[in-house]
Homo-oligomer: A and B are copies of this chain.
Amino acid sequence: MRDKVSIGLLGLGVVGSGVIKLIENHQEKLVHQLGCEVSVKSVLVRSLDKTRNVEVDRTFLTTNPDDIINDPEIDVIVEVMGGIEETYQYILNAFANKKHVVTANKDLVALYGTNLEAAARKNKCDFYYEASVAGGIPILRGIADGLSSDRIQKVMGIVNGTTNYILTKMSNEGFSYLDALKEAQELGFAEADPTADVEGLDAARKMAILGRLAFSTDVALEDVEVTGIKSLELEDLQYGDKFGYAMKLIGYAQSKDHQIEVSVQPTLLSKEHPLADVKNEYNAVYVYGEAVGETMFYGPGAGSLPTATAVVSDLVTVIKNMRLGVSGTHSLEARFKKELRSADQRSGQYYLRIHVKDRVGAFSEISTLFNDLEISFKRILQTPIKKRESAEIILVTHQTSLDNFQHALDQLKKLEVVLQLKSYYKVEGDAAYELAGTTKTLS
């Protein structure tokens, strides 16, 4: 057995520099845990001459991936370069060369995770990707190991720090969406092109990965229904607040009788729900297990050192497995054939805001429409709109099927009394404690 494990690092950006710092600063702890030294042997970079915020001997750098992937002395590849197709090939080649791989690349794992697990298994290699979901929070292990004996029914996540920061600003300080986005960009919590974040795609990738692990089925990225936060209006956050809800971009992965649904959508979340208190750029993942009930894992969803912590913890696991001779035995293979729930099988509570003509019987028409569809209301608020002969109606429904609710929306739009259907959002957490199989009530 080697008395030293050599790492090849693909990428030396924000996370890559963090990985190098952690391996250097915590060498003593690593040696104690692993009984061997760990060192970074080579690093793939785009340019040899760039100034970096970590000291790396220039002789370690290379611009040729083959220098790393084909180096027989390198045991583990740590991929923190990002990108998809090219990176996918590098990792497949690494497995073919019997190298273990740790990655932080959510785009890649969301798209090709299942194939990569299979390639790792075939080559008896380890493949770990804790850092791909919720940065420094050890949530994948939490699900795979900590709750391994339970049957997970529901995962809800605030898994995108940018949008959570924006929503916190809107809620707490009354910022508009655009002003909040601008501030997030100035503080470095949002990128110059925030599309993937604000349209929910980044969160969708993480939910696909979480759904796969939680339900042992091959959730594909295109299975995730996605709605972003770009069209959110402050009014809806304020009405929500008045009713006891916080607006959050929530990723859902739910399973019932092995039929699953995975989505990302702006949600009015009961302030009693543990996720409602997650503020600013923080992430959290709420897991509801049949036996354990409610658990939540909270922490930083991004950042150089938090993400590097997850990468190096994976690395510790990989090296332990190597030294114990059990590499490649932990790969995840789906137990269940994927079956998605249809709209009539999915139920929820919904908030909607409608502008109607301000005349006698207006509300009665709307109420009749919902009544005919057997949708009842939990909350109703009607207020006149100044200087116009119209009124604003806010409704929160009780549980109904998604199918039925969509039907109601279609019919609403056709009513002559309805001027505009302003917005509608999922409502969650009112019934968090009434989940299948439990009669527990919390005050």
Q: Say whether B309 contacts A26, CB under 8 Å.
A: no
Best-surrounded residue of A130, A146, A306, A443 (most CB of chain B within 10 A): A146
**Closest CB in chain B relative to A315 CB, distance in Å:** 7
Q: Say whether A299 contacts B292, CB under 8 Å.
A: yes
A295 to B299: give the CA distance in the assembly, Å: 4
* CB 8 Å contact bits of A281-324 with B (1 = contact, 0 = none): 01000000101111111111001011011101101110000001
Q: Say whether B151 contacts A147, CB under 8 Å.
A: no
Q: Say whether A300 contacts B309, CB under 8 Å.
A: no
Task: Assess whether A115 is interfacial by the CB under 8 Å rule.
Answer: no
How many residues from A make CB contacts under 8 Å with B?
57
Q: Say whether B149 contacts A26, CB under 8 Å.
A: yes
Q: Say whether A295 contacts B136, CB under 8 Å.
A: yes
State whether A442 and B280 are in contact (beta carbons under 8 Å apart), knowing that A148-B33, A149-B22 are contacts in the complex.
yes
Across the interface, A149 reaches (CB within 8 A) one of B300, B309, B442, namely: B309
Binds B, one of A6-14, A137-145, A199-207, A392-400: A137-145
**Closest CB in chain B relative to A327 CB, distance in Å:** 10
Q: Say whether A293 contacts B289, CB under 8 Å.
A: no
Task: Assess whether A329 is interfacial by the CB under 8 Å rule.
Answer: yes
Task: Assess whether A414 is interfacial by the CB under 8 Å rule.
Answer: no
Q: Say whether A296 contacts B299, CB under 8 Å.
A: yes
**Closest CB in chain B relative to A322 CB, distance in Å:** 12
Which residues from chain B contact A324 at a C-beta distance below 8 Å?
A: 324, 326, 329
Between-chain CB contacts (< 8 Å), 15 pairs: A25-B151, A29-B151, A136-B292, A141-B145, A148-B313, A150-B309, A292-B306, A292-B309, A293-B303, A293-B305, A295-B298, A295-B299, A295-B300, A298-B298, A324-B324
**Closest CB in chain B relative to A296 CB, distance in Å:** 4
Residue of B nearest to A289 (CB): B309
**Besides A141-B145, A293-B299, 7 other CB < 8 A contacts?**
A130-B146, A136-B293, A147-B313, A280-B442, A292-B305, A293-B303, A296-B299
Which residues from chain B contact A141 at a C-beta distance below 8 Å?
A: 138, 141-142, 145-146
Across the interface, A298 reaches (CB within 8 A) one of B296, B306, B313, namely: B296
Which residues from chain B contact A18 at a C-beta distance below 8 Å?
A: 291
Task: Assess whether A174 is interfacial by the CB under 8 Å rule.
Answer: no
Task: Assess whether A335 is interfacial by the CB under 8 Å rule.
Answer: yes
Task: Assess whether A82 is interfacial by the CB under 8 Å rule.
Answer: no
Which residues from chain B contact A33 at a C-beta distance below 8 Å?
A: 148
Task: Assess whether A30 is interfacial by the CB under 8 Å rule.
Answer: yes
Task: Assess whether A359 is interfacial by the CB under 8 Å rule.
Answer: no
State whether A149 and B313 are in contact (beta carbons under 8 Å apart), knowing that A138-B142, A142-B142, A298-B297 are contacts in the complex.
yes
**Closest CB in chain B relative to A97 CB, distance in Å:** 24
Which of chain A's residues 194-227 have a Cβ closer than 8 Å to chain B?
Answer: 216
Which residues from chain B contact A29 at a C-beta distance below 8 Å?
A: 149, 151, 335
Across the interface, A305 reaches (CB within 8 A) one of B279, B291, B297, B315, namely: B291
